[in-house]
Amino acid sequence: MKTRVMFIGVLALVLILCPLGLTGLAEEVILVKVVIFAMFEVGQYRGDFPGEFQYWVEGLDLDQHQVEVPGAYGPVLYNDDGVCGTVIGVGKSNAAASVTAVLLDPRFDFSQAYFITSGCSGTPPSVGALGAVFWADWVVDYDLGHRMSPEEGTPFQPKDCNPETNPKCKLHCPENEEGCREYEAYAFELNEDLVAWAYYLSKDVELVDCEAAQNYRSLYRAMAARNAPFVGIGTTMCGDCYFHGPGLSWEAQYICNLSGAGIYSTTEMEDHATALVLERFGYLERYLSERDVVNFDQPYLGQTTQESLDSSSGAFKIGMENAWLAGAPVVNYIVDNWEVWEKGVPEFSIGD
């Protein structure tokens, strides 16, 4: 009798700590091939005005199955082909919390999965165009650093160790160099082969455009800004601070330079947090950041920064669709060739 009571007590404790459906014993573990992270959805997952997730749900039938994940911003949707997706929320805190919660859920096996952030962004008019889509080769953090009001001194200082103002501060200290201090760059360089594959599979996709976006692009003098939508590769600048204007754009590029990254092409608010979580779980080598451009991050000539911030570029809907149009071939290629991709990212060469 004593043994029976003890067994019942242990069983009750297990059910309290590991609710049915979260233990991984009550449900079959789902082998995941690709994960889509979107930041927000405007309304429903199907049939209304689209946000960042709707085209993915409709195009891949992601709502074949749905599960609630404790700690995540939204439910995880998945189809029978091993592709899943979820809305992780806007900003770094939401992204970090949601991605961590999803990765820890025992109902999913992410050991061979590929991860894609798909969402909207801004761009400097000297680099991108409304409706364009960029695959990130670098993810750089805009926020971490030292800042002061302009009237109180230097308005921005990345850290006390600054390679541009302190000769003893360098990105990489040579061995045995006395007094050398390393500047800690808050940046991730993504898998070069994976980024090359994504660009190769999407670069010739026919993207959509609209008259409103065309008219707004024509207000800018920079040749890049006046282009029709295209697919490119470039650094993404991640900041919870929604920075806007030429001064802060210069500051963003300054941070990229200090980090060893290239010219920034997109501005967004989540991908550094997502990359950090994926790195800690050992998945960073299989991460892609895809950002569609819905606004310029600074005004055109004759427009104030406030007017630019308050204006509508007309590119939101085409951005949402173009992210799907450029991203879908990448997801489908990975799934259709899973016997190759499950082993890891294939080496990319021009002949591929």
- Which bin fits 79, alpha (ψ -120 to 50), beta or left (φ > 0)? beta
pLDDT average, residue stretch 185-213:
97
pLDDT at 159 over 90: no
Which runs of E-coded beta strand occur in 23-179?
30-31, 34-38, 65-67, 76-78, 83-87, 108-109, 114-123, 133-141, 146-147, 156-157, 169-170
- Helix-then-strand count for the chain, H and E: 10, 16
Segment 191-198 mean pLDDT: 98
With CA atoms as reference, report the closest residue to 82 among 130, 33, 135.
33
pLDDT at 27: 66
C-beta separation of 283 from 274 below 8 A? no
Task: Give how far the C-alpha of residue 305 lies from the chain's centroid of Cα atoms, to the nearest Å.
Answer: 26
Strand pairing category for 133-141 and 287-296: antiparallel
Q: CA 73 → CA 38, 85, 143, 168, 301, distances in Å?
A: 11, 12, 23, 44, 40
**How deeply is 32 buried, as exposed, middle or buried, from its count of CB atoms within 10 A (0-12, 13-18, 19+)?**
buried
Least confident range of 149-163, 172-186, 225-239, 297-311: 149-163
Domains of the chain: 24-144+188-341 (3.40.50.1580), 147-185 (no CATH)
**β-strand partners of 115:** 35, 287
Tokens of 140: 């750089």
> CB-based contacts of 172: which residues, under 8 Å, 6+ apart?
182
Query: What is the pLDDT, as a whole number, of residue 259?
Result: 87
Interval 313-334 mean pLDDT: 98
Average model confidence (pLDDT) across the chain: 90
Three-state SS at 86: strand
**Is 236 strand, coil or helix?**
strand
List pLDDT tens digits, range 259-313.
Answer: 889 999 999 999 999 999 999 999 999 999 999 999 999 999 999 999 999 999 9
Separation in Å, CA 30 to CA 109, 110, 322, 338: 6, 9, 29, 15
What tens digit of pLDDT does each residue of 51-71 get? 999 999 999 999 999 999 999
Whole-number Å distance between alpha carbons of 113 and 280: 15
Residue 14, pLDDT above cutoff 90: no
